[in-house]
Homo-oligomer: A and B are copies of this chain.
């Protein structure tokens, strides 16, 4: 399934919530339609209250009810394709007029085919097992008390995102399947598309006998609305920001609602002295070039000095042939010197720190595993790191000491993905340690409740 196959990235230059356009600056700028007499904060809290009330109906709904609603949503999206495509056309027109780059316009674009794929993804979510009601742990205590820890919905999930309109549907489907209401705040570049998609989803829910308020949007309230959403503690149970580093940092800074950070991936591939160099080349190339815009793409390759001479020429030549712009330390640049048509710029600290999300790579030579681990510890964002080695002790130490959500041993960094890992669709990839780490699927949108049954048990 395609949800989250690659996390959507920020649209640099779009009218979205990034580090360049901080929340709270010119708060109503993105909500020109809100009359000044409207209390935006209160209006957003009303949306959250309605979502909370609706969530109670869904919390105890059966899987059959939820799946039927999801299938109705999928059908409605297909049935309303012409209207959605038309609304999307207006977003595209405005984007073009405002100078949105061609690649971003392409991401924004919805046609009947893409909408069909989005509807199929909703059907895939319907086909996933329901996480709600799972007995996570349970036992009978010596005093006869019966304990069950049950998986239950969070309640209200908020998603703030910048990217492609498919996130609107993906987030709604995952929230509904896990028994939650969702409050959405999408990128302003897609605002007409998102508004109509939310309307279509709400109508489908109501027709299926569920409250429309299970899915709502605060797009109409601009940046001031996002601020209110981030402060809706007690009404919103978790906020998931999806987008660029600027958005995520701002949400983390400003939220009193619990946040799960997703998606920044400065991922490393370490080629050990004991690496199979053919495997190393394949893993490095795939990690870098298979899809550059995703958070699980490698941004740095570190090579053990013992294999640098044997490996760097083929690595640099292959990366160069794949169109990858290269940055290297002195050893790497020296190795590139004799290679025809391979150009390696000097790597700076900024290169080691950068998540390029493009055909661009930093390459370094390290004297040993310790140095590789120290480099990763300093520069990684804690997403995914890969080691290529035939040495069991090296693999074990790398896996034990790298402090990231995922470690790949002789495999591409691109496998850190809910669908690839057999976990089903994901709402994002968590790079924090609390609650969810790595791909966040349905179970990560739930919490638990202890139910303890006695026969009049009291404490002595």
Contacts and interface: CB of A to CB of B under 8 A. Distances in A.
Oligomer copy total: 2
Nearest to A55: B403
A407 B279 CA distance: 53
B290 A458 contact: yes
A411 B282 contact: no
A433 B139 contact: no
Interface residues of A, number: 66
Contacts of A149: 438
Contact of A404 (B276, B408, B449): B449
A452 B421 contact: yes
Interface string A405-431: 111111110111000111000000000
A452 B233 contact: no
A405 B453 contact: no
A448 B450 CA distance: 22
B412 A458 contact: yes
A459 B405 contact: no
A455 interface: yes
Contact of A437 (B403, B447, B452): B447
| Chain A contact residues, majority secondary structure | mixed
Interface stretch (A109-117, A221-229, A250-258, A328-336): A250-258
Contact of A252 (B145, B233, B448): B233
15 contacts: A59-B403, A139-B422, A141-B421, A149-B438, A279-B456, A286-B458, A406-B449, A406-B450, A407-B451, A407-B452, A408-B452, A409-B453, A410-B457, A411-B453, A412-B459
A434 B437 contact: no
A433 B286 CA distance: 38
A185 B415 CA distance: 41
A432 interface: yes
Contact of A452 (B258, B409, B459): B409
Interface stretch (A89-97, A187-195, A202-210, A394-402): A394-402
A137 to B, nearest CB: 9
Contacts of A455: 279, 410
A147 B407 CA distance: 10
Contacts of A404: 449
Interface in A270-301: 276, 278-279, 282-283, 285-286, 290
Contacts of A141: 421-422
